[in-house]
Amino acid sequence: MDIDSTAQDKARLFAGAWGRVKALPGKLKAKVTSTAKSIKKLGQDDPRRLTHSLKVGLALTLVSLLYYARPIYDGFGVSGMWAVLTVVVVFEFTVGGTLSKSLNRGFATFLAGALGLGADYFASLFGKNGEPIVLGILVFLLAAVATFSRFFPRIKARYDYGVLIFILTFSLVAVSGYRVNELVVLAHQRLSTIIMGGATCMLISIFVCPVWAGEDLHKAIASNLEKLATYLEGFGGVYFQSSEIDGMGTGKSFPQGYKSILNSKSSEESLANFARWEPGHGRFRLRHPWKHYLKIGALARQCAYQIEAINGCIGSDHIHGSEEFKGKIEGSCTRMSAECGKTLKAIAKSMKTMTDPYSSANTHVENSKAAMKDLKFALKAASLENADLAAILPAATVGSILVEIVKCVEKISEAVHELSQLAHFEKETVEPTVSPEKPPQLLHRGIIQPVLDGDSTANDNVVITIHEIISTDSPENGKACDQHQVPKPGQKIEAL
């Protein structure tokens, strides 16, 4: 009995192991297919990623010639490896990021190398016994001061990498000087190879399919404003119809693109920092006001947080507490939401075309402010003495948040208008809606009859009965118009 049970267990184990072995090719194929699809999707989402990879490979191939070519290797020796390390470290996705790291590394290496040579010469004045002590003190002081400077926000944002390279290079040069005799030659070789590696990265980044951080920042801000506009334009209809339409009150089917704006601060600050390093390109001048984009981005996030709060009202279980109160504020709230969405959409469009949005956006801003005043009048006119506060509180909260959104959208409009002035955007051209050559003129043909004395207290009133409309574009109708005169009281005139 035990022997049969043991044999069955072994058979089951063998069958399970054999099944896993047979399934291994299928799992491997599925894994390879999934990886290939992920790689394809990553490249399709942003083809510039593939281009960036090829650019890095090209830069590494070029600087490797310092090792492959014998004449160049004889001039730089092992220090040629610093060029390869420089390319790997400083080549970033955007032009601004590459320029930032390359220039930081170059200037930091030059300054640290010069100070390292000076420190070595100064320490040598104290003799063999005092030289290591002096070098240790100098390395300690400069490393401590440089590290502390990294805590300053401005240095942290723009020069943190340069300070780090300064500490590394100074320590290497100062410490190496105690054992290496030809320290000047070593410092010169390292500086030269680092400059060559950084220059290679900058040239390839700028002239081979460049990716501009400033352009990405500009598009990101405009896209964020469009996401806010999409939500606000449809919010009023969804919120006030959610009690009649099943499933609309959950908020799941409503556009949620605004959520990506909530965590956009770090990426916007990074792009703005890199954009400051970039030269003038396309429609962006050398000293373009990139810092102003951060102000617009902060206002957009403020609006997104308010939308996040108002979005919770759509899925609230108590949202249908007072349909009567919602009906009183529906018109004003819907208008505020729609006009704010139109304002943001006009601003986003003007940013894409780099035109001044003041004329197109200001109309919608004024309309939203007028709707806000109507909401205040509606609240004053509403009788809330016997109302259930718990029932009207959700709708009142929505109205209050919409008022804050109107104010925030107005600030965004003003900030974008200020940006257009600083960046010298083109003036927006407004096409006339009516042709100035042929203005519409209409003549009403009918019977003009005065009101009788018994019918009215005023004797100079007339009653006009309209039969049809005749255009005055033809000369015949123009003559007919000239024959008409102003009717007098008590006079009956029938038009021709």
CATH superfamily placement of domain 213-422: Phosphate transport system protein phou homolog 2; domain 2 (1.20.58.220)
Residues in a beta bridge with 463 = 449
Q: Which residues of 420-455 are buried (b: 16+ CB within 10 A; e: fewer)?
A: beebebeebeeeeeeeeeeeeeeeeeeebebeeeee
In the chain, where the domains are located: 50-207, 213-422, 442-494
Average pLDDT along the chain, 496 residues, taken 10 residues at a time = 65 76 83 88 89 95 82 74 91 95 94 90 88 91 95 91 93 77 78 91 95 95 94 81 47 72 93 94 90 95 93 61 73 90 93 86 90 84 66 81 93 94 80 45 43 45 44 45 46 44
Secondary structure percentages of the chain, helix, strand, coil, to 5: 70, 5, 25
Q: What is the CA radius of gyration of the chain?
A: 38
